[in-house]
Chain A
Amino acid sequence: AQSVTQLDSQVPVFEEAPVELRCNYSSSVSVYLFWYVQYPNQGLQLLLKYLSGSTLVKGINGFEAEFNKSQTSFHLRKPSVHISDTAEYFCAVTTDSWGKLQFGAGTQVVVTP
C-alpha cells in the first residue's frame, strides 16, 4: 500500500514571494504522483501530474513540481505567488492506472499582501 505525507499543514506567504509545498510518499512499487488545488468552497482541480519521463513537471498557473525517486518526494513550487493562489493544496499518489488515489492531508496556503 502507498501513503502520502504533506509536511506542512499551513504555509503563510507574502504576495510575489516564492513558495514550496513539501510532499513525501512511501511505496514499494512505481508511483504516479499528483498535485490538486482546492479553492475556497469548490471541488478539487488538477494542477499537475507525474506519470513518467522528465522529473520536472510543469502545471497550470505557473506551478511546477520535481519528482525525486531517491528521496521519495514530489515537492510543489511557484516562484512568485498571487493573492489568488490562496487555497488548499493536496498531494496524491497511486500505483497503477486503474488504481485508487491516496491523498495527503493537505497544505493550506495563505497569501497576504
Chain B
Amino acid sequence: NAGVTQTPKFQVLKTGQSMTLQCAQDMNHEYMSWYRQDPGMGLRLIHYSVGAGITDQGEVPNGYNVSRSTTEDFPLRLLSAAPSQTSVYFCASSYTGGADTQYFGPGTRLTVL
C-alpha cells in the first residue's frame, strides 16, 4: 500500500492564482480531511469528507474548495491564492472519523507571493 499520497511536495504561487492540491489514499478509507499547519498553531481543519459525495467545512474553510467524487481522491482547490494561505498542507484519512487513527500524507509546502 502507498498509504496517503500528496502532490506536489512544493509549490510557489502568485497572489490571485488558483491551483489544486492532490490527495489520494489506497486504504479504502471513508473519512478524509485537509489540514493546514502554521507555526505555533498546530493543525487546523480546512474541510473533511465522510464518504464519496459528502463534504463539510472545518475550522478554516474560507478560500478553499473540495469535492469527493471517488473514495480514493480528495483534492483541495485554492480559488484565488492569498499570502495568508502560505502554509504546509496535510491530507489525512481514516476508516471512520476523528476518533479513528488518522493516516497523514507527507504534506505540501505552499508559498504564495
B98 within 8 A of A: yes
Interface range for B: 20 to 34
Specify the chain A residue showing the minimal Cβ separation from B57.
Answer: A100
- The total of Cβ contacts below 8 Å across the A-B interface reads 69
Given A43-B106, A105-B40, A105-B41: A98 and B101 interface contact (C-beta under 8 Å):
no
B105 within 8 A of A: yes
Q: Tell me if B45 and A49 are in contact (CB < 8 A).
A: no
Given A44-B90, A96-B99, A98-B31: A103 and B44 interface contact (C-beta under 8 Å):
yes
Interface range for A: 20 to 34
Alpha-carbon distance A102/B4, docked complex (angstroms): 20
Q: Which of B41, B42, B44, B101 neighbours the largest number of chain A CB atoms within 10 Å of its CB?
A: B42
Q: Tell me if A90 and B107 are in contact (CB < 8 A).
A: no
Q: Tell me if A43 and B90 are in contact (CB < 8 A).
A: yes
Contacts of B100 in A (CB 8 A): 97
- Minimum CB–CB distance from A70 to chain B (whole Å) comes to 22
Specify the chain A residue showing the minimal Cβ separation from B100.
Answer: A97
- Give residues of chain A (71-92) contacting chain B, Cβ–Cβ below 8 Å: 90, 92
Specify the chain A residue showing the minimal Cβ separation from B107.
Answer: A43
B104 within 8 A of A: yes
Alpha-carbon distance A9/B41, docked complex (angstroms): 10
Contacts of A46 in B (CB 8 A): 101-102
Contacts of A51 in B (CB 8 A): 99
Q: Which of B48, B98, B104 neighbours the largest number of chain A CB atoms within 10 Å of its CB?
A: B98
Q: Tell me if B104 and A106 are in contact (CB < 8 A).
A: no
Alpha-carbon distance A92/B104, docked complex (angstroms): 14
A112 within 8 A of B: no
Alpha-carbon distance A12/B28, docked complex (angstroms): 40
- Give residues of chain B (20-40) contacting chain A, Cβ–Cβ below 8 Å: 31, 33, 35, 40
**Residues of chain A having any CB pair with chain B under 8 Å:** 4, 6, 9, 32, 36, 42-46, 49, 51, 90, 92, 94, 96-106
Ranked nearest first, the 9 interchain pairs of A and B with the lowest CB-CB distance are: A43-B104, A98-B97, A101-B98, A94-B98, A103-B42, A97-B99, A32-B99, A103-B43, A105-B42
